[in-house]
């Protein structure tokens, strides 16, 4: 039993980090929005890490799952607002729908694209994202290119006060919860059989097959898990927070690139990596935008190249090596 | 019933027939050495048996089941284990995890827990003498240690048929003798049929195999008890150059 618990010790620093972010935001005036952005980046990394970090497959269309999740929430709020007495139930339905839609999309994409490897997989997934966006715009489904604006619906369902509290406070709390859930799922996977299978296939897929591992099965499990959580993230961080959705915003490839940077910066396949990556990325992006507005990307690119050259396994990957054999080892994963 | 029987097995790469109508029967617990010059089709034969390549013609029957078109991950738990000629460790994982992952997925029992597979793995790590390096990253092992780990991994599959692809090449003669002795012991204890492919080390063939199969240009040239096969004039001509001194 004791051994069982020590397996989950690496969750301690993760939870501490999120608690610090939460209490800083709550107690320091005027800083909540910044903290919310940081938590979003951490959550994005945490969720994406389950797929990118554990399988080593780069999905350039990842933002599509957040986008679809956003639509799931938008649809349920805008379509169900006529029904009386649902109240917060609409949000629960929205989250469920977001989870299901992102999950279903990942099954469809995974069944086809996960048969491809390396660069081919990456290219195929870019296609998925763009294709989905043009499908919505071209076929005029879900409001087409005009998107869905549902702040009015939300006000009608919850009342103005509640609706405003939802998008300025509770949406951020939801993001925080999703991040913690994603971290928990990550460690359960890493400590379980699936973690072993994923490590093997990440290192050498052909050898893994000969060792008796059904690689496609485990890739798809990781993909669906990661995508479903991304759907939830889209539903809370985007839909509930901004209360509208437009196809170009929901399927913007920038977010995929940001997610990849966060995961690689922190350390792909580590538990703490997405938090470290998310904080560094979020803070430096914010700081550079204040100090040298307009030039932040110019400065940012070399910094990222520098970090990736110095820490090829990511910062947490490097730290893990340093603490090997010390008492800290069991807290860092 | 034979453990493994190959019927007229053929694998082509474009115009090249790498394995050309090979027939072979392997009984439980047998030790067979496969020899032949480079390019004679030995590794391809292994790849077809373990499922890395699918056969173009012919049949693979394992314990009475026709597995010719099965994917590799289904063949391994059935009892077909193999090593790779160039070891393919999961570099970022520890030696312990490398062996455990095979115990976890490569065996029929299937339901074995993570802790249990770590224990099973440790037994085989001990057996090949890698105990000291258990916690090391597999990528940091020396080439010989990687080969030993490869053997430990293949044994952790609990195979009924073990295909070893030049697993002993590049090792010190003393280590070879030691390993051959422990392989023989495991073979007898667990009743494993071992087909070992050996390219240059006649020492291992003579010490280990009861039967030798000689491959030449994709075909099976000779299939006979070791001593007899090594005296065969055709084998001397195409492969050995001169008779083996025992």
Q: Cβ distance A103 to A224 under 8 Å?
A: yes
- CA nearest to A4 within chain B: B115
Q: Cβ distance A44 to A233 under 8 Å?
A: yes
Q: Do B104 and A193 touch (CB under 8 A)?
A: yes
Per CB-CB distance under 8 Å, the chain B contacts of A329 are none
Q: Is the ipTM of this complex over 0.90?
A: no
Q: What is the DSSP string of A236-300?
A: IIIIIHHSEE-HHHHT-HHHHHHHHHHHHHH-TT-SSHHHHHHHHHHHHHHHHHHHSTT-HHHHH
State percent of chain A over pLDDT 90: 62
What confidence score (pLDDT) does residue B97 get? 92
What confidence score (pLDDT) does residue A92 get? 94
DSSP state of A326: S
3-state helix, strand, coil in chain A (%, to 5): 80, 0, 20
Of A193, A207, A215, Cβ closest to residue B84: A207
Q: Do A212 and B153 touch (CB under 8 A)?
A: no
Answer yes or no: is pLDDT of A1 > 60. no
> How does the average pLDDT of chain A come out, rounded?
91
Residue A190 touches chain B, beta carbons under 8 Å: no
CA-to-CA distance for B86 and B88, rounded, in angstroms? Answer: 6
What confidence score (pLDDT) does residue B234 get? 86
Residue B91 touches chain A, beta carbons under 8 Å: yes
CATH class of B1-79+160-246: alpha beta
Residue B13 touches chain A, beta carbons under 8 Å: no
In angstroms, what separates the C-alpha of B74 from chain A's closest C-alpha? 6
Q: Which of A210, A215, A267, A273 to mutate to test the interface with B (most CBs of B within 10 A)?
A: A210
Domain borders along chain B are 1-79+160-246, 89-158
Average pLDDT over residues B224-230: 87
Q: Do A213 and B50 touch (CB under 8 A)?
A: no
β partners of residue B6 = B24, B60
What confidence score (pLDDT) does residue B198 get? 67
Per CB-CB distance under 8 Å, the chain A contacts of B73 are 209-215
Average pLDDT over residues A241-250: 91
The pLDDT tens digits of the residues spanning B1-41 come to 789 999 999 999 998 999 999 999 999 888 888 888 888 88
The pLDDT tens digits of the residues spanning A139-190 come to 999 988 899 999 999 998 888 999 999 999 999 999 999 999 999 999 999 9
Residue A151 touches chain B, beta carbons under 8 Å: no
In the block, which residue shows the tokens 């090997």? A324
CA-to-CA distance for B53 and B71, rounded, in angstroms? Answer: 9
Q: Do A199 and B93 touch (CB under 8 A)?
A: yes
Average pLDDT over residues A102-118: 91
The pLDDT tens digits of the residues spanning B109-161 come to 666 888 888 998 999 898 888 889 988 889 899 888 888 899 899 888 888 99
Using DSSP's 3-state secondary structure scheme, residue A148 falls into strand
In angstroms, what separates the C-alpha of A205 from chain B's closest C-alpha? 10
In angstroms, what separates the C-alpha of A195 from chain B's closest C-alpha? 10
In angstroms, what separates the C-alpha of B73 from chain A's closest C-alpha? 4
Q: What is the DSSP string of chain B?
A: --SEEEEEEEEEETTEEEEEEEEEEE-TT-EEEEE--TTSSHHHHHHHHHTSS--SEEEEEETTEE-TT--HHHHHHHTEEE--SS----TTSBHHHHHHHHHHHSSTT----HHHHHHHHHHHHHHTT-GGGTTSBGGGS-HHHHHHHHHHHHHHT--SEEEEESTTTT--HHHHHHHHHHHHHHHHHHT-EEEEE-SS-HHHHHHH-SEEEEEETTEEEEEEEHHHHHH-HHHIIIIISSPPP-
Q: Do A196 and B100 touch (CB under 8 A)?
A: yes
Residue A207 touches chain B, beta carbons under 8 Å: yes
Per CB-CB distance under 8 Å, the chain A contacts of B97 are 196, 199
Give Cα separations from A163 to A41, A150, A211, A231, B53 (angstroms): 24, 11, 54, 21, 60
The pLDDT tens digits of the residues spanning B159-211 come to 899 998 887 777 788 888 888 888 888 888 887 888 777 656 677 777 788 89
**What are A134's two structure tokens?**
């043009």
Size of chain B, expressed as the number of residues it contains: 246
Q: Exposure of B92 by Cβ count < 10 A (0-12 exposed, 13-18 middle, 19+ buried)?
A: middle
In the block, which residue shows the tokens 């069944």? A111
- CA nearest to A190 within chain B: B114
Domain borders along chain A are 11-253
CA angle B220, B208, B196 (to 5 degrees): 45
Residue A7 touches chain B, beta carbons under 8 Å: no
Per CB-CB distance under 8 Å, the chain A contacts of B72 are 209-210
Q: What is the DSSP string of B200-226?
A: S-HHHHHHH-SEEEEEETTEEEEEEEH
Q: Do A211 and B71 touch (CB under 8 A)?
A: no
Of B72, B90, B92, Cβ closest to residue A209: B72
């Amino acid at each position: 039993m004791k051994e069982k618990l020590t397996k989950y010790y690496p969750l301690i620093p993760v939870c501490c980090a999120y608690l610090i972010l939460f209490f800083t935001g709550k107690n320091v005036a005027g800083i909540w929005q910044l903290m919310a952005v940081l938590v979003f980046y951490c959550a994005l990394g945490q969720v994406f890490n389950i797929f990118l970090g554990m399988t080593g497959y780069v999905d350039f269309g990842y933002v599509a799952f957040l986008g679809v999740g956003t639509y799931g929430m938008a649809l349920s709020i805008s379509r169900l607002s006529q029904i009386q007495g649902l109240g917060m139930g609409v949000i629960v339905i929205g989250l469920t729908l977001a989870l299901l839609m992102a999950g279903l999309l990942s099954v469809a994409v995974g069944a086809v694209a996960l048969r491809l490897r390396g660069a081919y997989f990456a290219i195929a997934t870019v296609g998925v994202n763009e294709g989905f966006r043009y499908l919505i715009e071209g076929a005029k489904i879900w409001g087409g290119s005009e998107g869905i604006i549902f702040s009015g619906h939300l006000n009608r369902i919850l009342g103005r006060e509640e609706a405003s509290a939802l998008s300025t406070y509770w949406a951020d709390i939801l993001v925080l919860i999703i991040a913690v859930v994603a971290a928990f799922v990550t460690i359960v996977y890493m400590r379980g059989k699936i973690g072993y299978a994923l490590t093997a296939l990440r290192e050498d897929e052909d050898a893994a097959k000969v060792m008796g591992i059904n690689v496609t099965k485990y890739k798809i499990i990781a993909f669906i898990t990661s995508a479903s959580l991304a759907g939830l993230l889209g539903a809370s961080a985007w839909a509930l927070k901004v209360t509208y959705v437009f196809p170009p915003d929901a399927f913007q490839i920038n977010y995929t690139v940001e997610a990849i940077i966060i995961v690689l910066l922190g350390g792909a396949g580590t538990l703490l990596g997405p938090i470290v990556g998310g904080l560094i990325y979020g803070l430096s992006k914010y700081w550079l935008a204040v100090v040298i507005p307009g030039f932040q990307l110019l400065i940012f690119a070399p910094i990222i190249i520098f970090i990736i050259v110095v820490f090829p396994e990511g910062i947490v990957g490097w730290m893990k090596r340093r603490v090997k054999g010390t008492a800290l080892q069991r807290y860092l994963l | 019933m034979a453990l493994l029987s190959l019927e007229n097995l053929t694998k082509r790469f474009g115009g090249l027939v790498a394995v050309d109508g090979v027939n072979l029967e392997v009984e439980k617990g047998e030790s067979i050495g496969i020899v032949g010059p480079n390019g004679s089709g030995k590794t391809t034969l292994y790849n077809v048996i373990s499922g890395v390549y699918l056969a173009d013609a012919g049949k693979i029957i394992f314990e009475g089941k026709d597995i010719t078109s099965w994917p590799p991950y289904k063949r391994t738990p059935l009892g077909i284990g193999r090593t790779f000629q160039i070891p393919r460790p999961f570099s970022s994982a520890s030696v312990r995890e490398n062996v455990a992952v095979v115990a976890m997925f490569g065996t029929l029992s299937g339901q074995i827990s993570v802790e249990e597979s770590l224990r099973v793995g440790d037994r085989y790590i001990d057996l090949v003498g890698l105990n000291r390096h258990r916690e090391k990253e597999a990528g940091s092992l020396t080439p010989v240690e990687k080969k030993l780990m490869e053997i430990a991994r293949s044994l952790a599959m609990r195979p009924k048929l073990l295909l070893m692809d030049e697993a002993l090449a590049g090792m010190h003669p003393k280590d070879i003798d030691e390993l051959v002795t422990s392989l023989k012991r495991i073979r007898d204890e667990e009743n494993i049929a071992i087909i070992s492919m050996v390219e240059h080390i006649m020492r291992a063939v003579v010490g280990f195999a009861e039967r030798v199969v000689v491959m030449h240009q994709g075909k099976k040239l000779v299939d006979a008890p070791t001593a007899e096969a090594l005296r065969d004039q055709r084998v001397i001509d195409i492969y050995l150059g001169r008779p083996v001194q025992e």
